[in-house]
Amino acid sequence: MRRHLVVVGASLAGLRTAEALRRLGHEGPITVVGAEQHPPYDRPPLSKGLLSGRMMPTGVRLSQATNVGADWQLGVPAVALQADVRRVELADGRTVPYDGLVIATGARAVPGGPGVRTLRSLDDAIALRQELRPGRRVAVLGGGFLGSEIAAVARERGCEVQLVTRQPLPLLTAAGEPVAAVVAELHRRAGVTLHQELASSADLVVAATGAIPNTEWLNDAGLMPAADGLQCDEWLRPLRADGSVLPDVVAAGDVVRWPHPLAQGGLVSLGHWSNAVDQAETAAYNLVFPDRARPFGAVPSFWSDLYGVQLRAVGIPRLGTPTVEEHDPDRTRLVVTYHRDSRLVGAVTLNRTSRLAVYRAHLAAQLPLVVA
């Protein structure tokens, strides 16, 4: 039987899952449903090259590694999952039947209120870039990586920038005090002022205060509550409210919340590029070969570039206590490891990317689960 596979979500995780399905030998029809009108595009450049003007919008489009041969339904979001009859209901009233389903609907920005910009989509980035003009007073709300990247780009484009964070330092929650202190100093040297509340009026306010998983369309599907993401098991299979798995359904990307082995039984959501790509491979494999399903536990990685400084990370640093392994302030070099109960859970480097390989290998060696 030529099974009809449906992928809901047309961003990185959705595209890579569809590609993997073909590589794994699926010859039947594939339908990809996406809420945005745009073909799949890469999100990391939105707050980096595209926002700065060094990259054009066409440069973020994701290339297709294989001929997916899918039916692309773009600009029509899914609004409901009828799991009992295996159908996905679309916003225009149509329903799409499936034999196997991939949930890869990602996440959206936490709204910032009237008149406040956010940055999550290609359209957001294009609109925000037009607003970042020399001399404008810009307030960026949010102490994570996205907030720091927006603040850095705004300053590079000649804006007067204040970065407003809940914590005393940017990146404190994500990477701990040693990294946060260095990043704060980078901002100050560049002329960005740091505050824990809005210090002065602004011509433009940009909120980068987190993301909300796109799970509302699943509310009536009988799944576990998903306020923090779609709860899945180690095999990336969504869980019903009674703890059983939803048959012939897998998930990948920012929408997923699952038990990563580094969390020692705890559930995590990882909005990283590498996680979306790695999960797509495993999700596709488990959908095509359910009898040989593989648990997912790849070593996560992520990166950022601030004022010419390369920040690179592996693992889940926020889970552990930081230890400085190397620090050369004159060359803005820093290596920090993170441990939980004497177990390595992550590492972050600034301008020392070569040091990451050993930590990645150590993390991979201690993980009991593997990516397909």
Angle between helices 172-190 and 145-156 (to 10 degrees): 10
d(CA 328, CA 259): 36
Number of domains in the chain: 3
Q: pTM, whole model, 2 decimals? A: 0.95
Specify whether 98 is located in the same domain as 216: yes
Specify whether 100 is located in the same domain as 22: yes
Whether 226 shows a pLDDT value over 90: the answer reads: no
Domain boundary among 259, 292, 325: 292
Q: What are phi and psi of 91, to 5 degrees?
A: -65, -25
Percent of the chain with pLDDT over 90: 93
CATH code of the domain containing 331:
3.30.390.30
> Which residue in 290, 288, 282, 287 sits closest to 252, CA to CA?
282
206: Cα separation from own chain's centroid: 19
**What range defines the domain where residue 305 resides?**
301-366
Q: How confident is the model at residue 132 (pLDDT cuts 50, 70, 90)?
A: very high
371 assigned to some structural domain? no
323 assigned to some structural domain? yes
Specify whether 11 is located in the same domain as 50: yes
Specify whether 188 is located in the same domain as 272: no
Specify whether 159 is located in the same domain as 30: no
Specify whether 165 is located in the same domain as 41: no
Whether 76 shows a pLDDT value over 70: the answer reads: yes
Specify whether 284 is located in the same domain as 329: no
21 assigned to some structural domain? yes
Average pLDDT along the chain? 95
Percent of the chain with pLDDT over 70: 97
Specify whether 72 is located in the same domain as 189: no
Of the chain, the end-to-end C-alpha distance in Å amounts to 25
Specify whether 145 is located in the same domain as 128: yes
Specify whether 170 is located in the same domain as 241: no
